[in-house]
């Protein structure tokens, strides 16, 4: 997607057959399992599934062109003894022009391999950028806690 593209639910013509857009976005959601680089774009496009419009379809086609031009992108799972978790998170404050909700994004690495990532709109609007960042940190702390328990159950010792 373009960097400063602002999609909303009122601009552009309504698509005559929304099922094609929905199928495309469903396939892109499935593709995010192996392509964390498109997670934010797919999250942004998936919020217009009810009444997709032409600018939404244009942005999805742009994303498809990006995927076609970068077939080697994906997850590299390296063979490493390092089982240390590294977690990164970020949020933007009130980026949705309609609901004023923030978007949280995070990525968790096991050694140097990504094992968990997400880009999702927060449930409630934040009153400040600090509150949005704290919500993002709370989300990633829950995910890290779950991963630590999973690693312990798999008998991988975490340093």
In the predicted structure, residue 158 carries a pLDDT above the cut 60 = no
Tell me the backbone φ, ψ of residue 67, rounded to 5 degrees.
-65, -40
- CA R_g for the chain: 18
Q: How confident is the model at residue 19 (pLDDT cuts 50, 70, 90)?
A: very high
Q: Tens of pLDDT along 27-54? A: 999 999 888 889 989 998 999 999 999 9
The full set of domain ranges for the chain reads: 18-69, 85-153
Using alpha carbons, list the distances in angstroms from residue 110 to 88, 144, 151. 12, 11, 10
Q: How confident is the model at residue 8 (pLDDT cuts 50, 70, 90)?
A: confident
Q: Tens of pLDDT along 92-117? A: 888 777 788 898 999 999 888 899 99
In the predicted structure, residue 159 carries a pLDDT above the cut 70 = no
Q: How confident is the model at residue 157 (pLDDT cuts 50, 70, 90)?
A: low
Compute the average pLDDT of residues 132-157: 91
Beta carbons of 136 and 124 less than 8 angstroms apart: no
Helices (H) and strands (E) in the chain, counts: 4, 3
Count the residues in the chain.
Answer: 159
d(CA 25, CA 19): 10
Of the candidates 121, 65, 73, 57, the one whose C-alpha atom is nearest the C-alpha of residue 93 is 121
pTM of the model: 0.73
């Amino acid at each position: 997607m373009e960097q400063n593209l602002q999609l909303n639910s009122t601009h552009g013509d309504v698509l005559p057959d929304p099922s094609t857009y929905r199928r495309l976005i469903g396939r892109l959601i499935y593709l995010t399992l192996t392509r964390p680089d498109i997670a934010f774009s797919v999250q942004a496009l998936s919020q217009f599934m009810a009444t997709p419009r032409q600018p939404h379809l244009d942005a999805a086609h742009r994303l498809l062109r990006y995927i076609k031009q970068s077939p080697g992108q994906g997850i590299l799972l390296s063979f490493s003894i390092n089982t240390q978790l590294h977690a990164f998170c970020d949020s933007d404050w009130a980026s949705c022009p309609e609901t004023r909700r923030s978007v949280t994004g995070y990525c968790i690495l096991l050694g140097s391999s990504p094992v968990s990532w997400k880009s999702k709109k927060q449930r409630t609007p934040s009153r400040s950028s600090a509150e949005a960042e704290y919500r993002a940190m709370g989300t990633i702390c829950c995910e890290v806690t779950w991963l630590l328990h999973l690693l312990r159950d798999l008998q991988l010792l975490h340093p």
